[in-house]
A and B are shown apart, each in its own frame.
Chain A
Amino acid sequence: MPGPLLRVRDLTTVFSSSRRTITAVDQVSFEIRAGQTFALVGESGSGKSVTALSVIRLLPEAASLTSGSVHFEGRDLLRLPEREMRDIRGSGISMIFQEPMTSLNPVVRVGKQISEVLIRHRGMTRAQARKHVLDLLEAVRIPRPPQTIDMYAHELSGGMKQRVMVAIALACEPRLLIADEPTTALDVTIQAQVLELINDLQRQFGMAILFITHDLAVVKQVADHVAVMKDGVIVEQSSNEVFFSSPQHAYSWDLFAALPAMEKRGKPLLERNGQALQKPAVEDVTGDSVLRVRDLAVYFPIRKGLFKRTVGHVKAVDGVSLDIPPGQTVALVGESGSGKTTVGKGILRLVQPTLGEVTYLGMPILELDRSRLMEQRANLQIVFQDPYSSMNPRMLVGSIIEEGIKALNVISDAQARRQRVLELLEQVGLDRDAHLRYPHEFSGGQRQRICIARALAVNPKIIVCDEPTSALDVSVQAQILDLLNHLQEQYAISYLFITHNMSVVAYFADRVAVMYQGRIVEQGEVEQVLTDPQHEYTKQLLGAVLRLVPPLRSS
């Protein structure tokens, strides 16, 4: 049996600035055999991308390799001169990145971007290269290659762009493909297609893959061998079967525990042997819902010409009807562009709906004037997806939380207001002294807690959660979901939970509404919709979701 294709020994990469040095990758060793898929799993900041960049020597300037060796087909990559390294990067090892939107040059036709590689590394003529590009586009299953070859990146969808990236990576038939979160930015249905494509191409070309991801379900699907990284160290390495049946390291168990799933409904994710949650029972749902949405429509006008005449409409939301019962969670799922965020913002009148009615406890929200609407603002609140942009970086956390209380005059006494801020911070699991710090001093999960505290500050009855966990790691997601569950239990708040993550829906929601192209195609109880979908689109969506049954702890 020949030696491994890639052998990494004791690789250590250090980031140094004038103030301190951080060891991003610490004594990492692994081997990849020809034709094998090796998955590197870990949460953000665990050093998995830096490991890959160290292997092909594309580290940023501040980083340096301090020890270790990388052997590719017997050659030590760390000792090669840059000229030879360039030949290896393209023809021996290629890479696909996470973000297909920014990896392609927007002003060069996609065909040319692929043929550049062929001309540079394989010495083809222009005509030969063009012919080969057509074959490659065919291989990555892009429809109508002769048209696509002359398109620009912006004319392609996200999935198509990622296919083009795969085509570029495959152009020189590399022996090793490094895929850095290649499907993270894509919708589930597209993700399934791209994974299948990579899998097929691997068999066809017989290449090895170093697959970097944070998603255990994807790992289960694609990997032969799994390595779990935490804080720059590989804590566990084993084959797919062994890892998913009996993981060894405590951290791997924590990762599995944090995964939301249908089986864990009603129990907190992180506390072991936790008490079952006491949710108000689902009674007559349509009878006394807190929020009724009927035929909600949001059209964005398309304006043209000197006088900005409206020539048409983009129907972002086109006739949505929903009911949110008290103390319950209604999940709104759909792929990107389906209009689910616009529904959330339309309900709060952050964008002005074109048609329809929204009734909060009998009050027509859309017909209120400015001052009447102001009174109702306290009852309807929102938590955003991106915890980095949802707080003013120039304000103290205390004043951020206080802002709503002040603006809506919930508590008029300054002393009492400050007291309330401290209570809120404690409630969402942060230190009291956090109120004197700035948002940038907190991690993503902590920021999301602050945002929840801000929304809670005005005692809302309904919180619209717009993908509150999709920018977070699984373990942090679990903390936030536990917190939201806990708050719901305590205050009987209703959530409109907007998400694209089916396993979060399965764990967290009571009812679910599936959105597709601005309309709700199916809604009902979570168990019913997920186990017995009626609409064609729901079936397709659920079919694309990668299922992962967490292993059972034997101890």
Chain B
Amino acid sequence: MFPGKPVFLLTDILVFGLVLCIVMFFLYAMRKPHLRQPWQQVVRSRAGVISMIVLSVYVGIALLDSVHFHPVLENQSAASGHVQHSGEVISLFDRMVSGLRESGEKTYSAPFAAYLYAKETVQQDDGTKQRVYPRLAWGASHLEHPETQKTGDVLRLGLKGALKAVVLWGALVLLLGWVLSLRAGRAFRVTLGILFSGRSRIPWRTVVVTLGIVLLVLMTGAEWATKYHVLGTDKVGEDVLYQALKSIRTGVVIGTLTTLLMLPFAVLFGIMAGYFRGWVDDVIQYLYTTLNSIPGVLLIAAAVLMLNVYMSKHAEQFASLTQRADLRLLFLCLILGLTSWTGLCRLLRAETLKLREVDFIQAATAFGVGRVQTIFRHILPNVMHIVLITLVLDFSGLVLAEAVLSYINIGVDPTMNSWGNMINSARLEMAREPVVWWSLAASLFFMFTLVLFANLFADVVRDALDPRLSR
């Protein structure tokens, strides 16, 4: 049963549409050897499998965070027979980490802290008033004497998480071994031997080790998060770990949807300019040189400001704050896409110019094959590798661009969790004394990991797909 009334945000629909496209592409590619071969190369490289595992954790969180609904209100009388839904919109991911979401404090608290980061005047039992660091409402609230018990408790929880991770990891490895031995028709022990010797074509040992590390981090983190604010809390007492995790969706959506939205323009215009030449080429070239000469940040700022005005004038069109923020996110993707399609367009134009003189296109012309057919059958499949390489290479750049734009307040909605917004608010925290460093550190760490592995993945994909590098 779905835990509430579903809400379909525009970006949710697009994200799942994209996932569907990718799945369909892979099912299609599996049947075509020339398409399958480069992806096999990706799967066979160590950097490839490591980054794929890490990225799939990020993407998994982003997808869970993209299923939105109005939750069922609690404390309803069962007799009424009518289920009441709350006005707020939450996601499946919010439901999974509801502990974190609802565990607000008053204000700043450090990672793993039991006390607030700021002194407060508290009335003692004897009626006197004293300025102390009060205990947190939720973090470490299960401990009587945090000063003495905390270290042991943290270690105990960590160990518990690690144990869970090891058990889960063991189960996964056994499952993997079983599946592999079934597929290869080998004895189970032989398969396990190959798995751990690192002699297999797909680097299974690397897969298993990476999986182990990822599970260890996830499980210990989850275990700690049940009792502590692992990464502290921010100014209004919200858990920073929760914010950083929620920002994953924003980053992934911007990184993928932007490219997706600009792709039709870039591919269509690029190929048309290269194939038809003449006035079509002139028009398209003038278009993108003009667009390119407008400073991107200025264009984005203007567009976002316009949207803001529109949204405040038509407030009644938006059912919830989430929807408003979502529209702004989509609009940001759109405008980022509008300023970034020119690069890919130029690449595709050049490649098409080269291709149209190649003999097999001339042969098609000699057979009287139509222009549209020539484009779709002969040119598009032969420039697809450039599209894919650009897609993965642009991803990390766009995630970083979001951070920069939100920092100067023309990025996503301030109510939306994003690394850029976290960094923006950290600007003041860094100037505070004593300094609050965990917001900035958390957002940087999460962003850095995503961008690093996205870049590693992009490198592997480029090596596999670029015909000039292979063979």
Contacts and interface: CB of A to CB of B under 8 A. Distances in A.
A373 B358 CA distance: 22
Interface in A340-382: 345, 348, 350, 373-374, 377, 380-382
Contacts of B360: 389-392
Contacts of B370: 407
A392 B360 CA distance: 6
Given A382-B362, A386-B359, A438-B33, A392 B367 contact: no
B34 A407 contact: no
Interface string B344-383: 0000000000000011101111111110010001100110
Most buried by B among A390, A392, A440: A392
Interface in A380-410: 380-382, 384-386, 389-395, 403-404, 407-408
A348 B366 contact: yes
A269 interface: no
B243 to A, nearest CB: 45
Contacts of B358: 389
Contact of A389 (B359, B364, B369, B373): B359
B33 A403 contact: no
Contacts of A373: 368
Nearest to B32: A394
B368 A374 contact: yes
A500 interface: no
Interface size for chain B: under 10, 10 to 19, 20 to 34, or 35 or more residues? Answer: 10 to 19
Given A392-B378, A394-B382, A403 B362 contact: no
A168 B381 CA distance: 44
A380 B366 CA distance: 8
Interface string A23-61: 000000000000000000000000000000000000000
A404 B373 CA distance: 12
17 contacts: A345-B362, A350-B365, A374-B368, A377-B366, A382-B362, A382-B363, A385-B359, A389-B358, A389-B359, A389-B360, A391-B360, A403-B377, A404-B367, A407-B370, A407-B373, A408-B368, A438-B33
Nearest to B362: A350
Given A391-B360, A392-B381, A377 B368 contact: yes
Given A389-B358, A390-B359, A350 B366 contact: yes
A377 to B, nearest CB: 4
A394 B381 contact: yes
A454 interface: yes
Nearest to B365: A350
Contacts of B34: 393-394, 438, 440
A380 B363 CA distance: 11
Contacts of B377: 392, 395, 403
B164 to A, nearest CB: 38
Contacts of A403: 364, 367, 369, 377
A458 B373 CA distance: 19
Nearest to B361: A392
A377 B369 CA distance: 10
Contacts of B373: 407
Contacts of A404: 367
Interface in B18-44: 33-34
A407 B33 contact: no
> How would you classify the secondary structure of chain B's contact residues: helix, strand, loop or mixed?
helix
A530 to B, nearest CB: 30
B19 to A, nearest CB: 25
A440 B370 CA distance: 25
Nearest to B201: A18
Interface in A424-454: 438, 440, 451, 454
Contacts of A345: 362
B362 A407 contact: no
A389 B34 CA distance: 16
A377 B367 contact: yes
Contact of B369 (A348, A380, A385, A407): A407
Nearest to B370: A407
A219 B378 CA distance: 43
A361 B378 CA distance: 32
A350 B377 CA distance: 19
A341 B222 CA distance: 70
Contact of B363 (A374, A385, A454): A454
A345 B361 CA distance: 13
Nearest to A348: B366
Given A377-B368, A403-B369, A407-B369, A390 B363 contact: yes
Given A390-B359, A393-B382, 19 more contacts: A348-B366, A350-B362, A350-B365, A382-B362, A384-B359, A384-B362, A384-B363, A385-B359, A390-B360, A392-B378, A392-B381, A394-B381, A395-B377, A403-B364, A403-B369, A404-B367, A407-B369, A407-B370, A440-B34
4 smallest CB-CB distances across A and B, nearest first, come from: A390-B359, A404-B367, A394-B381, A384-B359
A438 B36 CA distance: 13
Contacts of A394: 34, 381-382
Interface in A293-349: 345, 348
Contacts of B369: 403, 407
B367 A408 contact: yes
Contacts of B367: 377, 403-404, 407-408, 458
Contacts of A382: 362-363, 366
A377 B368 CA distance: 6
Interface string B279-322: 00000000000000000000000000000000000000000000
A373 B368 CA distance: 8
Contacts of A440: 34
Interface string B319-352: 0000000000000000000000000000000000
A440 B467 CA distance: 13
Nearest to A376: B368
A348 B368 CA distance: 11
B463 to A, nearest CB: 15
A456 B56 CA distance: 51
Nearest to A451: B363
Nearest to A387: B359
Nearest to A384: B359
B350 to A, nearest CB: 17
A382 B368 CA distance: 13
Contacts of A380: 366
Contacts of B363: 382, 384, 390-391, 451, 454
A377 B364 CA distance: 11
Nearest to A454: B363
B279 to A, nearest CB: 11
Nearest to B467: A393
A390 B368 CA distance: 16
B15 to A, nearest CB: 29
A78 B370 CA distance: 59
Contacts of B365: 350
A407 B368 contact: yes
Nearest to A440: B34
Contacts of B368: 373-374, 377, 407-408
A42 to B, nearest CB: 23
Given A392-B378, A438-B33, A381 B366 contact: yes
Interface string A232-269: 00000000000000000000000000000000000000
